[in-house]
Amino acid sequence: MENKTQELKRYLVPGKRVHLVGIGGVSMRPLGLVLKGMGMIVTGSDMNSSVSTDELIANGISVAIGHSESNVEGADCIIRTAAAHNDNPEIAAARRMGIPMFERAQAWGVIMQEYKNAVCIAGTHGKTTTTSMVTHILMEANVDPTVMIGGYLPLLRAGHRVGKGDTIVLESCEYCDSFLNFFPTLAVILNVEADHLDYFKDLPDVQKSFRKFAQLSSNGVLANGDDPHTLQAMEGVDCITFGLKEHNTVRAANICPDWRHLDIVCNDKFYCHLDLNVLGRHNALNALAAAGTAWMLGIPGEAVTKGLATFSGAQRRMQFKGNYNGAEVYDDYAHHPDELAATIEAVRTMEAKRIVVAFQPHTYTRTKALFDEFVNELKKADLVVLAEIYAARERNTVGISSRDLAAKIPGSVYCETLPEVTDYLRRIVQQGDVVLTVGAGDIYRAGEALLKDNV
């Protein structure tokens, strides 16, 4: 990987043309914008037009909709998303033409080496929220950071930021071992669970990847000391732990029942107080990790307090979308059973009349591997509406459908299409309900279509 990184450095310079395959993706889009800001000629392609591709075009980046070998002609190098396989016509053409090809994570690895502080935030879940929280803190502290988030942050009006300071903060994904291309000075590990089982064999394989990631850090590791899977992964790694339990170096104290008000204690000394605008135990832990990151960077506690007081969530993370028929509609990106559990638990504190969950599973392999866990968590909602599985990068070679989940969840409803989901919600939503559209695909469209009825 190091040799590929050194090779890529020769191409990521002003005036060179780089073509991004899958440029509309959550971390490809900001990469394209950052490379454009570095003075490179950036082009890209994606299967579908979207808000992301519209933003890229508005910023002077040529984006082709659909993949064609003609798109790569004249490029000095290619950067591909992990979802672009070797049978992609642009990948195949680049190989045939001898155009150097690199992974998205390798490009971020090159970029982060230019910074004194490279904060890489990893974990099976919570990455986007915690990276966003750290961004709020660093902006409050006038650090002027460069940022890459896998979602939209209202503070930045984008999912990325190019700063002039000496700190870069990146959401760091384990899928396909992508984060092993990074060069963190501080590695943050929020949790470790069995996920992406189309790539990893099992939980120990995931843990092995996180251990390698932690060992890449040159100046410290902050890890969840309450999570047994994380602690197992960090065996033999020198790290500082955060969590709710007393043994952690960074811990919470004086926690209010709604998890929104708490003190942060570091090395048994008061560091700061937090008044959060986001719900749930999981967000208190995310805030604890963000505060611990700031403490390790030497940021004053006052900046943590003020920065997190202005954080009200990232896009698609318990995002309030509007009201319909007296019900509140929220959207959340949760696509793992643990994330579902955290989201439903957080909504319980809102004392809703009913929790109505419209869930769209993400990928066939994840749905099959975690089937029983999904069933158990979805049963905790008052009413479940199941959209068909969002395929993403996969084909249904395992023979599974959301209809199978519906068969195991009493009272649930299966809808083959998103318009059917919207139509069903339109008929059954009542005053006092909280409606959640949940999943990493396009389930949010069902909620947005519902809210259009109010116009």
What percentage of the chain reaches a pLDDT higher than 90?
A: 72
- Give me 44's structure tokens: 């890209």
The CATH number, out of the four listed (3.40.50.720, 3.40.50.300, 3.40.50.1700, 1.20.1250.20), of the domain defined by the range 6-107: 3.40.50.720
Lowest average pLDDT, out of 107-121, 252-266, 314-328, 415-429, goes to 314-328
β-pairing, 158-161 vs 327-332, is unpaired
Residue by residue, DSSP assigns 117-134 as EEEEEE-SS-HHHHHHHH
Please report which confidence band the pLDDT of residue 50 belongs to, taking 50, 70 and 90 as the band edges. confident
Name the amino acid, one letter, at 314. A
438, 358 Cβ separation under 8 angstroms: yes
pLDDT attached to residue 2: 57
Q: In terms of CATH architecture, what is 115-309?
A: 3-Layer(aba) Sandwich (3.40)
Rounded to the nearest angstrom, the gap between the alpha carbon of residue 187 and the centroid of all alpha carbons in its chain is 16
Can you tell me the distance from the alpha carbon of 248 to that of 265, in angstroms, rounded to the nearest whole number? 9
What confidence score (pLDDT) does residue 454 get?
64
31 burial (CB, 10 Å; 0-12 / 13-18 / 19+) is buried
The per-residue pLDDT for 225 is 97
Structure tokens at 339: 């994330």
Pick the CATH number of 319-454 from 3.90.190.20, 3.30.450.20, 3.10.180.10, 3.40.50.150: 3.90.190.20
Summarize pLDDT for 7-35 with one digit per residue, the tens.
Answer: 999 999 999 999 999 998 877 888 898 89
pLDDT at 443 over 80: yes
Which candidate, 27, 54, 316, places its Cα nearest to that of 147?
A: 27
pLDDT surpassing 90 at residue 134 = yes
* Residue with more model confidence, 222 or 338: 222
Tens-place pLDDT, residues 166-177: 999 999 989 888
Instruction: Tokens for 397, please give them.
Output: 């070679």
Segments making up each domain of the chain, as ranges: 6-107, 115-309, 319-454
